[in-house]
């Protein structure tokens, strides 16, 4: 994977990363963070540092038995998850992790995507990449756990993730590898996004033979404390935490305006309305979608007068509200 030495947040080449659209490791960009420095002293120091910001709120966290080997996933037939979501104080979770630091196969404890502003007020003063100063609205989240595996998945936003404590190994794949990664159910999911069914630690190449093709495109990197990784929108990534205690801080942001909705509901709607049509009709609809959606944005309305383009023109907040109301009306019929 491409690696850049970045001495601090001020020299972070954010625009180049986004425009390049490929993953990159940013060595040392957060080396001066308070949490990174504490973690270099010891696990106890890192935990004490986090406790110093704890707002005392109950937080959701995943808990799994030792038998899941740190991999929040599915049961054998993918109809249920192999862990449970609990709520408790952050200090309780840290205590539980501390009790099992030396276990070869500890129970899984995982606080995932916790908004920092509410849970750890004041933390970002000395632990931040300064994206807001660059006009990027990306409220940071924190991920705290022991040796946890985040199964391979994609996120719609751009993602900049900092390894603050411990080590994390990332394996990333371009979006076109979706077929070779064998996605699981759309619901339920271990973390809110569809995940690959392949166990990267012991891939079953008889059941998932195309995974070999995915591996040929894989890029890997192990992040040490203070390193970060940029993962472009829609790239698949598998993340393995390798230390007994690990903390990651990440920033998600979209480059599209806020009034543009997530495409995921459109996927569900297409599964409902298009997927099971006769093949001839599906091919015809594929041409329609290419014309209106996947081709050049201005093509479909280019031959119309401006006043007649309506939703074929650029989507703004007013048009977005009108489309939303129209869809609600259709779905409620």
Residues 15-61: tens digit of each pLDDT: 999 999 999 999 999 999 999 999 999 999 999 999 999 999 999 99
What is the average pLDDT score of the chain?
A: 96
- In angstroms, the CA 12 to CA 4 distance is 10
pLDDT value at position 258?
87
Q: What are phi and psi of 257, to 5 degrees?
A: -65, 155
pLDDT at residue 90 tops 90: yes
- Residue 266's pLDDT band (cuts 50, 70, 90): very high
- C-beta of residue 104 within 8 angstroms of C-beta of residue 97: no
pLDDT at 64: 98
Does residue 286 surpass a pLDDT of 90? Answer: yes
Mean pLDDT, range 7-18, rounded to an integer? 95
Please report the pLDDT score of residue 239 as a whole number: 98
Q: Evaluate if residue 148 carries a pLDDT over 90.
A: yes
Nearest in space to 115 (alpha carbons), one of 137, 142, 86 = 142
d(CA 180, CA 283): 23
Q: Enumerate domains of the chain plus CATH numbers.
A: 3-253 (2.60.120.650), 264-331 (no CATH)
């Amino acid at each position: 994977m491409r690696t850049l030495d970045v001495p601090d947040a001020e020299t972070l080449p954010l625009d180049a990363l986004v425009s390049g659209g490929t993953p990159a490791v940013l060595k040392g960009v957060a080396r001066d963070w308070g949490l990174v420095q504490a973690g270099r002293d010891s696990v106890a120091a890192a935990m004490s540092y986090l406790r110093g910001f704890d707002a005392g709120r109950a937080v959701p966290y995943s808990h799994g038995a030792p038998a899941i080997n740190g991999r929040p996933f599915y049961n054998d037939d993918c109809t249920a998850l192999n862990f449970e979501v609990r709520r408790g104080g952050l200090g309780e979770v840290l205590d539980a992790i501390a009790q099992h630091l030396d276990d070869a196969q500890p129970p899984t404890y995982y606080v995932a995507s916790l908004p920092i502003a509410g849970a750890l007020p004041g933390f970002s003063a000395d632990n931040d990449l300064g994206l807001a100063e660059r006009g990027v609205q990306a409220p940071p989240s924190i991920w705290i756990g022991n040796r946890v595996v985040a199964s391979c998945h994609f996120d719609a936003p751009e993602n900049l993730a900092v390894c603050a404590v411990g080590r994390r190994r990332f394996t990333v794949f371009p979006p076109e590898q979706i077929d070779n990664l064998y996605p699981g159910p759309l619901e339920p999911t271990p973390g809110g996004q569809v995940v690959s069914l392949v166990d990267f630690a012991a891939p079953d190449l008889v059941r998932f033979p195309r995974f070999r093709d995915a591996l040929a495109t894989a890029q890997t990197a192990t992040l040490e404390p203070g390193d970060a990784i940029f993962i472009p929108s829609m790239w698949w990534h598998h993340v393995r935490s390798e230390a007994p205690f690990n903390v990651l801080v990440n920033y998600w942001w979209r480059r599209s305006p806020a009034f543009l909705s997530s495409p995921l509901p459109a996927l569900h709607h297409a599964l409902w309305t298009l997927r099971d049509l006769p093949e001839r009709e599906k091919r015809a609809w594929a041409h329609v979608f290419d014309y209106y959606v996947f081709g050049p944005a201005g093509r479909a309305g280019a031959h119309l007068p401006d006043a007649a383009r309506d939703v074929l023109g650029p989507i703004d907040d007013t048009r977005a509200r009108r489309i939303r109301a129209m869809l609600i009306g259709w779905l409620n019929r």
